[in-house]
């Protein structure tokens, strides 16, 4: 598979840093997520998750099996009618892959992967809120932040991070939850959820113009609970960090959340084939450090990250490892 060898070398290179800096952060994942198989050549393939898991091998995680999400938890974001409308498509995958939208496919193994990806976020929120640890990472696929309440979109079927956020609000009685999204593609589905929920802050950096075409600075939600920082193609470390410092991090600080969730996409890396931003691996470590600082300031360190995009395997593996290591450098 393209870049698999480079990803493996990257995994070996970052393992020392992980072992040096990481204590027992919670890690939620499941092998079933490797059985979600789009057609050959599709960007969102099982090798993505395997590259991340290889990069994290040997680090001191408290590894947990991602459970199936309960439909009632999913239904806080996606109506029951949407959830049930997927079932005939899942059944059809016994015979062939099913195309849900121009970019989004499901296969025979997809149902378990999709339910466990959402379940990982719910379980991670439960574990962090119960005090089992203050940091959790959900190594999941398919990603979720493009999924709208009533439509799959952009490789995403259930909006994992939004399901986790609304679970935190409703099941744990929180008054303020924030989602920070640094995927290179705007998290349109998560923004849609925030636009109907004033207890939720959504703050995003992303390339624009680029798929899905949303995320303008003028999109501000309810009383400013949506904060977008679009950046042009070619934007590098200085521009991205400036946008984070000028818009995203001040909004997070002012909102003072009781829990921070992160849509951790690593496709703004300069090596990624699906976008044209120019971030380096070290930028994701910087983001982890800054988000950790604000989590300690406002929510006793409670922070849950979930994997979104990243399509160059070596860049994805190295950036995810650097980000997670930085979260643990207190």
Distance CA 144, CA 161 (A): 7
Q: Would you call the peptide bond into 212 cis, given omega within 30 degrees of 0 as the criterion?
A: yes
Distance CA 284, CA 128 (A): 22
Q: Which residue has the tokens 């991340």?
A: 52
At residue 286, φ and ψ (nearest 5 deg) are -60, -45
Reference 103, options 147, 65, 73; nearest CA is: 147
Q: Would you call the peptide bond into 209 cis, given omega within 30 degrees of 0 as the criterion?
A: yes
Is 58 in contact with 16 (CB distance < 8 Å)?
A: no
Within 10 Å of residue 145's Cβ, how many Cβ atoms? 31
Residues labelled as active-site residues: 146
Is 142 in contact with 44 (CB distance < 8 Å)?
A: yes
b (16+ CB within 10 A) / e for 276-303: ebbbbbebbbbbbbbbbebbeebbebbb
Is 52 in contact with 162 (CB distance < 8 Å)?
A: no
């Amino acid at each position: 598979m393209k870049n698999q060898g480079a990803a493996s070398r990257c995994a070996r290179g970052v393992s020392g840093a992980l072992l040096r800096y990481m204590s027992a952060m919670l890690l939620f994942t499941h092998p079933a997520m490797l059985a979600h198989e789009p057609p050959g050549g599709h960007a969102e393939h099982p090798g993505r998750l395997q590259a991340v898991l290889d990069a994290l091998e040997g680090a001191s995680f408290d590894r947990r099996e991602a459970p199936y999400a309960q439909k009632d938890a999913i239904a806080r974001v996606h109506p029951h009618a949407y959830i049930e409308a997927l079932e005939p498509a899942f059944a059809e995958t016994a015979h062939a892959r099913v195309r849900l939208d121009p970019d989004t496919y499901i296969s025979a193994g997809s149902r378990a992967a999709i339910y466990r990806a959402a379940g990982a976020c719910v379980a991670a929120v439960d574990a962090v809120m119960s005090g089992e640890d203050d940091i959790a990472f959900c190594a999941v696929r398919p990603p979720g932040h493009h999924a709208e309440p009533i439509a799959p979109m952009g490789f995403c079927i259930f909006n994992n991070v939004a399901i986790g956020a609304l679970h935190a609000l409703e099941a744990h009685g929180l008054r303020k939850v924030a989602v920070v999204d640094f995927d290179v593609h705007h998290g349109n589905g998560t923004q849609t959820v925030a636009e109907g929920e004033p207890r939720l802050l959504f703050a995003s950096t992303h390339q624009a113009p680029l798929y899905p075409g949303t995320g303008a600075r003028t999109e501000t939600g309810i009383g400013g609970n949506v904060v977008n920082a679009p950046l042009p193609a070619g934007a590098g470390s200085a521009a991205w960090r400036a946008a984070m410092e000028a818009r995203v991090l001040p909004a997070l600080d002012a909102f003072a959340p009781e829990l921070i969730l992160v849509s951790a996409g690593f496709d703004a890396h300069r090596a990624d084939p699906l976008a044209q931003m120019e971030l380096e691996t070290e930028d994701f470590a910087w983001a982890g450090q800054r988000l950790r600082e604000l989590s300690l300031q406002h929510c006793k360190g409670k922070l849950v990250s979930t994997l979104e995009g990243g399509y160059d395997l070596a860049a994805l593996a190295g950036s995810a490892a650097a980000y997670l290591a930085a979260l643990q450098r207190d």
